[in-house]
Each structure stands twice: as C-alpha cells, then as structure tokens.
Structure 1
Amino acid sequence: MSATTAATARAARPAELPRTRRAPLTAISGGAAQRGRRLDVVRAPLHSKSRVPFLVLCATLMIVSLVTVLVLNTTLARGSYEMSKLQGQVAQTAQDVQGLQEDLSAAETDLDDKARSLGMVPAENPTMISVRTGKVVKGTGQ
C-alpha cells in the first residue's frame, strides 16, 4: 500500500472514541466461586444420529395410509355400484309383483263371467277329497 492510500484510509475512518476502563468484576454469592472452580469440564457433543430411519418410517407410514385409503375408497365405490344395481332389481321385482297382483285381481273378477260363458254353474253341495286320509269329505259350498 502506498503512503497516500494509507493516509486516505485513516482519514475515512471515524475518529476513535477514547477507551474507558471497565469496573472490576466481582463474584456473586452462589456462583462458581463457591464451588471452587470457574470452569467445568464438559464432554464433547455426541454425534447426532442419522435422520434417514425416521424419514423412511414417515414415508412408509404415509405410503401405507395412502394405499389403505385407496383400497377403502375402491371398496366403498364397488359396494355403492352393487347397492345401486340391487336397488334397481328390487324396484323391477316390485313392479313385476304389482303387475301380477293386478292381473290376478282382474282374473278373479272375470272368473264368474268366463265360467258362465263356458256353461258352468255354481255347485250347490261340493264334495271334496282329503289328501291326507284319502277319504271323501262332504262340505258345504262357500
């Protein structure tokens, strides 16, 4: 460095403050002075363990939970489709039953007319056969 550069550097620095003397340090009661020594020996810090197993555990738990949610969601969706299909079958069966009941009601009302058109007459005193015993049972017409 040249003489002019050093002079310029000194001129650029702010004026130094006058140094003051600090008050002397005194020991506080109950401090290290009573224990007999000022510094304690401290063991070197232990090497920190690797975080890889923890991260692997977290990643595994996340993957397992995501797969579980996926399987559960798929199962519920399949069950929903099956339930919808079965509800459609139940509705179709109910319609079929209702149609058959209407056909039966219509046939019951037309039975007397059809029998008369075929030349049939109501029986005055019907005779029946018991299936269990095989005997002829006389009954009254209802």
Structure 2
Amino acid sequence: MSALRAPAPLPERRGDPTPRRAPLTAVEGGGGRRLDAVRAPLQATSGVPFMMLCALVLVTALLSALLLNTSMARGSYEMSRLQREVGLVAQDVQEVQAQLREAEASLPQEATRLGMVPAEDMTMLSVTDRAVVAGVGQGS
C-alpha cells in the first residue's frame, strides 16, 4: 500500500451547502499507479441482538415444552382416575347383575311360598288389534 498525501479541503462556496474534497493524489515514487477512493469498511455489528433472539426462541421452546408436559401429566392423572372409577362402576354392575340372577332363580320358590300357583290357561291381549287372544297354553 502506498502512502497518500491528502491535500487540504477546498473552501466552501457560498451557494453550495455540501463541502467539496480534492481528489487524492499519489505520493512521488509510488509507481505512477492511479489510486481510487474506496468506501470505509463496514463496522462490525454486535452479535447481541442475534444472541438475544436465539435465547428468546430457546426460552419460548422450553416453556412450551414445560406447559405441554404439565398438561399431558395432568391428563394422565385424570385418565387414571377415570379408569379407576370405570373399574369400580363395572364391579357395581357385576354385583347388581349377580343379585338379579339370584332373584330370577329364586322367583318360582318365592311365588310358591306366597301361595301363588301356575296359570293353567293364559289369556293374552293383542295391542295392535285390540283383541283378546284366548286359550294359549303354557306348553306352547
């Protein structure tokens, strides 16, 4: 890189608000190459906003996972409670069905104990015809 000599800036003209700069010239002994002015390199931007964004995404993902896990655990406890309740209800239904079968089995003995006798000739009513169907035997 060759050293440059920057001439003093030109004085401002009275009607022109923007200052003018003189072109850069090469120092003697610079090989006679033409020099061009280049833009200054961009200043390095801070990585803090990107890191904050990454941290925010990470925290949001962790909180979402925590809330999802918590709700799943709550649902699991609720499901196990309901399964226990269904088991208890099924046991109650089985007990009632067993009592019903016992009552059905002891029904003829209980009717005899109360003095009831089997009917010899049954009479039935037809609901659709509103008629009496007589003489239907027990053996049929």
TM-score past 0.5 threshold = yes
Offset of residue 122 of structure 1 = 1.2
- 5 Å-filtered alignment, 1:24-63, equals 44-63=40-59
In 2: Cα distance, 1:85 partner to 1:135 partner: 55
Which structure features the higher share of strand residues? 2
Q: Which SS does the other structure have where 2:106 is aligned?
A: helix
State TM-score, norm by structure 2.
0.64
Show CA shifts across 1:50-81 (max 9, x none).
Answer: 21220111111011101111110111011111
The number of residue pairs the alignment matches comes to: 104
In 2: Cα distance, 1:94 partner to 1:116 partner: 34
State TM-score, norm by structure 1.
0.63
In 1: Cα distance, 2:60 partner to 2:94 partner: 50
Letter aligned with residue 77 of structure 1: A
Structure 2 spans left out of the alignment, 5+ residues: 1-32
Offset of residue 133 of structure 1 = 4.5
Whether 2:66 is the aligned partner of 1:64: answer no
**Against the structure 1 CA distance between its residues 122 and 53, is the aligned structure 2 distance closer, same or farther, given a 3 Å change threshold?**
same
- 5 Å-filtered alignment, 1:98-117, equals 98-117=94-113
1:73: which partner in 2?
A: 69
Which structure features the higher share of helix residues? 1
2:22: which partner in 1?
A: none
CA-atom RMSD, angstroms?
2.3
**Against the structure 1 CA distance between its residues 65 and 44, is the aligned structure 2 distance closer, same or farther, given a 3 Å change threshold?**
same
Structure 1 spans left out of the alignment, 5+ residues: 1-36
**Percent of residue pairs identical:** 51
**Against the structure 1 CA distance between its residues 83 and 133, is the aligned structure 2 distance closer, same or farther, given a 3 Å change threshold?**
farther
Letter aligned with residue 110 of structure 1: S
Offset of residue 84 of structure 1 = 0.9
